[in-house]
């Protein structure tokens, strides 16, 4: 019993982030006392049918603790009572929004069939949960034996997590996964780094898949992200051996020197911004900088040009280079417009060879080579070292709904946590971390999600869905400040996270108050209410298209002489 309580404290420590080393120390202690399966033991303190440490982590929506337990080989499918599992707890969590936890558990191997066994009706879940459950059934699960075999060539046992890295982008995910699988499953055949260019308009997952690939495959400690727009000269990356104050160490050398024999991912965001770069004193830097990459990508070595490097060669052969670029975004958007019935309906395996030939081979590869050639003819060799050009296409109509739901959910569900005031909660006066209200549940109706999805613009991607919930946020807080919802003093104390006043109340503790965001299609207005709207709109289900004309890209937005594309009529001011 003492070891069980100790493990639970390590999984969910008070006030600090869950650490894998602390959990492992308890498990090692238990193994020494002949309790080898403590990680899956049931605790009966709070539930008659018992709960595992994983169940506690899921119920508290603690993603770090869940990842730690999975890395320590927890059993995701332990059944508690009749049909309760970690996955069913995430789906039915009423204390927190378990949507992202569902995605995470499925990516790690949870069985989607557990939902049906528990009698949960999938179509009653939010559309994002529906999306990930359908994805899990399509992707399939790896058996325990398969995962143990794949672990012989790490990180192959984690490769399947990439399927859950972002919504949509079947073509890009397939190309990236195939390239990474080839690299990690047959390391003997790899003599140089893997270089992938992720092309397409902003807001469609290029950065997200790079970060998620790092979390799953190499660990965040072996991930370096560089914003190319912030670079000023090649010394920022590769260092400079100029004496005195002019000498500097380069970011790449500093990162790679202690990781020469480790799998790493280097993410170069907006790689195209190096083109045309000049130093503070007016010297052209783009050719010099691109040429320095040629050695790293072709030879698998990096020359340390820093003050202390003295020209030493650093082994960079185990680096996966992921570059994002807006190069080709016009071509990708024109391609989507030309084939909109196909692109916006469904992108799957049947479309792979078509996209690879018509878009990548015929349009994107020549374009990338031309961009390097414009800097210097010699740099065409650099374009040939790019192993993969992965296009990020506009979202299908179904994906627009899912991404809109994700954006809204992420914004509104922050209110489930207590308020954060700059002078309290150990925030040390950091206003950037503050939130005036908390301990409340702000829900949105299907009608509002459809309204947000209708704001989609292919040139903006997921950023199209940022402003509507931000506007709601401002209106909502204003209503709370003015007490337009006519809340009781106890509720006001709760949402202000006034713990002293709450504990003094005879009604403490009491349920969190719930509020609703709704789009009224009759008045074309967004409404904030304390009660669930009587007509929240038709439930969101997969395969139900957005009832609107596809938003297309007008020629003025991307240049060129293409005919103007049809656009939506102006949306009425939703606030009346």
Contact call for residues 88 and 129 (beta carbons, < 8 A)? no
**Average pLDDT of the residues of the chain:** 85
Domains of the chain: 2-141 (1.25.40.20), 156-391 (3.40.50.300), 397-558 (no CATH)
Task: Tell me which H or E stretch contains 517.
Answer: strand 514-520
User: Average pLDDT of 404-414?
Assistant: 95
Q: How far apart are CA 379 and CA 365, in angstroms?
A: 14
Query: What is the band of 568 on the pLDDT scale with cuts at 50, 70, 90?
Result: very low
Main-chain dihedrals φ then ψ at residue 43, nearest 5 degrees:
-105, 135
* Helix 397-412 and helix 446-453, axial crossing angle in degrees, nearest 10: 120
The answer, yes or no, to whether residue 170 has pLDDT greater than 50, is yes
> pLDDT for 425-483, tens place per residue?
454 455 567 899 999 999 999 999 999 999 999 999 999 999 999 999 999 999 999 99
**Secondary structure in 3-state letters for 239-307:** CECCCHHHCECCHHHHHHHHHCCCCEEEEEECHHHHCCCECCCCCECHHHHHHHHHHHHHHCEEECCCC
pLDDT band per the 50, 70, 90 thresholds, residue 192: confident
**pLDDT computed for residue 48 by the predictor:** 73
What pLDDT band is residue 405 in, cutting at 50, 70 and 90?
very high
What's the pLDDT tens digit per position in 50-86? 899 999 999 999 999 999 999 999 999 999 989 999 9
Averaged pLDDT, 146-151 = 90
- Tell me, what's the pLDDT at 14? 74
Specify the pairing of strand 319-325 against strand 264-269: parallel
> DSSP character for 531?
S
| pLDDT reading at 191 higher than 60 | yes
Q: Is the pLDDT of residue 518 over 80?
A: yes
Residue 465 has what pLDDT? 96
Residue 2 binned pLDDT confidence (cut-offs 50, 70, 90):
confident
Instruction: Choose the weakest-confidence range: 18-27, 45-54, 64-73, 195-204.
Output: 45-54
Q: Residue 98 has what pLDDT?
A: 95
For 279-416, list the strands marked E by DSSP.
Answer: 301-303, 313-315, 319-325, 388-391
The whole-number average pLDDT for the span 261-275 is 92
Determine how many CB atoms are found less than 10 A away from the CB of residue 531: 9
Cβ pair 193, 297 in contact under 8 A: yes
Give tens-digit pLDDT for 519-545. 999 999 999 999 999 888 888 888 744
Give the distance between the most distant pair of CA atoms in the chain. 78
CA distance 401 to 389: 27
Q: In this structure, are residues 488 and 503 in contact, taking their beta carbons and an 8 Å threshold? A: no
Query: What percent of the chain has a predicted confidence (pLDDT) above 90?
Result: 56
**Rounded CA separation 420/432 (Å):** 10
Judged against a pLDDT cut of 80, whether residue 555 lies above it is answered with no
Higher pLDDT pick, 334 / 568 = 334
Sequence-distant (≥ 6) Cβ neighbours of residue 276 within 8 angstroms:
286
Low-confidence winner among 158-167, 238-247, 253-262 (lowest mean pLDDT): 238-247
Using DSSP, state whether 551 is helix, strand or coil. Answer: coil
- 232 or 481, which is more confident? 481
What is the Cα Rg of the chain in Å?
Answer: 26
Rounded-to-10 torsion of CA 110, 114, 116, 121: -70
What distance in Å separates the CA atoms of residue 70 and residue 31, rounded to the nearest whole number? Answer: 18
pLDDT for res 101: 96
156, 185 Cβ separation under 8 angstroms? yes
Higher-confidence residue of 155 and 507: namely 155
Query: What mean pLDDT do residues 291-303 have?
Result: 89
333 near 558, Cβ under 8 Å?
yes
Q: Give the distance from CA 19 to its chain's centroid.
A: 22
Reported as half-sphere exposure (CB side, CA atoms, 13 A), residue 60 has a value of: 19
> Which among 128, 124, 82 has a CA at the least distance from the CA of 104?
128
Q: How far apart are CA 29 and CA 22, in angstroms?
A: 11
Identify the DSSP state of 44.
-
In whole angstroms, what is the distance from residue 119 CA to residue 122 CA? 9
Residue with tokens 């320095």: 292
Residue 249: per-residue pLDDT = 79
pLDDT 10s digits, 504-514: 666 666 678 99
Predicted local distance difference test score (pLDDT) of residue 541: 85
pLDDT, position 566: 30
* Separation CA 217–CA 264 (nearest Å): 9
- Asked whether the predicted pLDDT for residue 564 surpasses 60, the reply is no
Residue 242: what pLDDT?
59
Residue with token string 């299609």: 521
Please list the residues that pair with 223 across neighbouring strands. 265
- Residue 282 predicted with pLDDT over 80: no
The 3-state secondary structure of 175-223, one letter per residue: HHHHHHHHHHHCHHHCCCCEEEEEECCCCCCHHHHHHHHHHHHCCHHHE
Helix pair angle (127-139, 397-412), 10° resolution = 120
- How confident is residue 277, by pLDDT bands cut at 50, 70 and 90? confident
Residue with tokens 């509104």: 412
CA distance linking residue 264 with residue 86, whole number of Å: 31
Query: How far is 210 from 208, CA to CA, in rounded Å?
Result: 5
Strand partners for 194: 320
Q: How far is CA 326 from CA 199, 201, 390, 459, in A?
A: 6, 6, 12, 10
Per mean pLDDT, which range of 186-195, 243-252, 303-312, 379-388 is the poorest? 243-252
């Amino acid at each position: 019993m003492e070891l069980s309580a100790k493990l639970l404290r390590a999984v969910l420590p008070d006030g600090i982030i869950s650490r894998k080393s602390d959990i492992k120390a308890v498990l090692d202690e238990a193994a020494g006392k002949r309790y080898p399966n403590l990680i899956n033991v049931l605790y009966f303190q709070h539930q008659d049918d018992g709960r595992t440490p994983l169940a506690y982590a899921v119920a508290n929506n603690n993603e770090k603790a869940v990842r730690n337990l999975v890395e320590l080989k927890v059993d995701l499918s332990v059944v508690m009572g009749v049909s309760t599992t970690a996955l069913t707890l995430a789906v039915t969590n009423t204390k927190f929004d378990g949507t992202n936890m569902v995605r995470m558990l499925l990516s790690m191997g949870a069985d989607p069939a557990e939902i049906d066994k528990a009698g949960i009706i999938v179509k009653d879940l939010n559309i994002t949960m529906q999306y990930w459950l359908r994805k899990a059934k399509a992707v399939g699960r790896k058996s325990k034996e398969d995962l143990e075999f794949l672990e012989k060539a790490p990180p192959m046992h984690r490769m399947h997590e990439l399927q859950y890295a972002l919504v949509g982008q079947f073509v890009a995910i397939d190309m990236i996964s195939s390239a990474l699988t080839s690299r990690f499953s047959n390391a003997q055949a790899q003599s140089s780094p893997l270089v992938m260019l992720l092309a397409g308009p902003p807001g469609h997952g290029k950065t997200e898949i790079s970060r998620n690939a790092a979390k799953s495959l190499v660990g965040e400690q072996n991930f370096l992200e560089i914003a190319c727009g912030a670079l000023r000269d090649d010394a920022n990356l590769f260092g400079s051996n100029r004496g005195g104050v002019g000498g500097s160490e380069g970011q790449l050398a500093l990162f790679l020197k202690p990781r020469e024999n480790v799998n790493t991912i280097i993410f170069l965001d907006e790689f195209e911004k190096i083109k045309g770069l000049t130093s503070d004193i007016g010297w052209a830097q783009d050719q010099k900088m691109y040429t320095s990459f040629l050695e790293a990508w072709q030879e698998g070595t990096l020359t340390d040009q820093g003050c202390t490097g003295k020209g030493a060669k650093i082994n960079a052969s185990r680096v996966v280079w992921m570059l994002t670029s807006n190069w080709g975004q016009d071509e990708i958007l024109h391609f989507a417009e030309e084939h909109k019935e196909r692109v916006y309906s469904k992108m799957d395996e049947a479309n792979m060879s078509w996209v690879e030939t018509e878009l990548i081979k015929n349009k994107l590869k020549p374009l990338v080579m031309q961009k390097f050639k414009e800097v210097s003819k010699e740099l065409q060799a650099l374009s040939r070292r790019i192993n993969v050009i992965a296009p990020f296409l506009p979202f299908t109509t179904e994906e627009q709904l899912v991404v809109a739901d994700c954006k809204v959910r992420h914004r509104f569900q922050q209110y489930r946590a207590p308020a954060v005031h700059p002078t309290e909660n150990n925030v040390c006066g950091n206003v950037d971390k503050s939130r005036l209200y908390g301990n409340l549940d702000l829900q949105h109706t299907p009608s509002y999600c459809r309204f947000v999805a209708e704001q989609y613009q292919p040139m903006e991607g997921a950023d199209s869905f940022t402003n509507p919930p931000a506007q709601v946020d401002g209106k909502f807080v204003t209503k709370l400040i003015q007490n337009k919802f006519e809340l009781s003093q106890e509720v006001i104390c709760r949402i202000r996270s006034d713990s002293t006043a709450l504990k003094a109340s005879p009604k403490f503790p009491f349920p969190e108050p719930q509020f609703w965001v709704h789009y009224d299609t009759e008045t074309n207005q967004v409404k904030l209410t304390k009660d669930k709207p009587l007509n929240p709109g038709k439930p969101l289900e997969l395969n139900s298209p957005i009832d609107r004309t596809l938003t297309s890209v007008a020629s003025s937005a991307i240049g060129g002489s293409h005919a103007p594309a049809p656009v939506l009529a102006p949306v009425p001011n939703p606030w009346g």
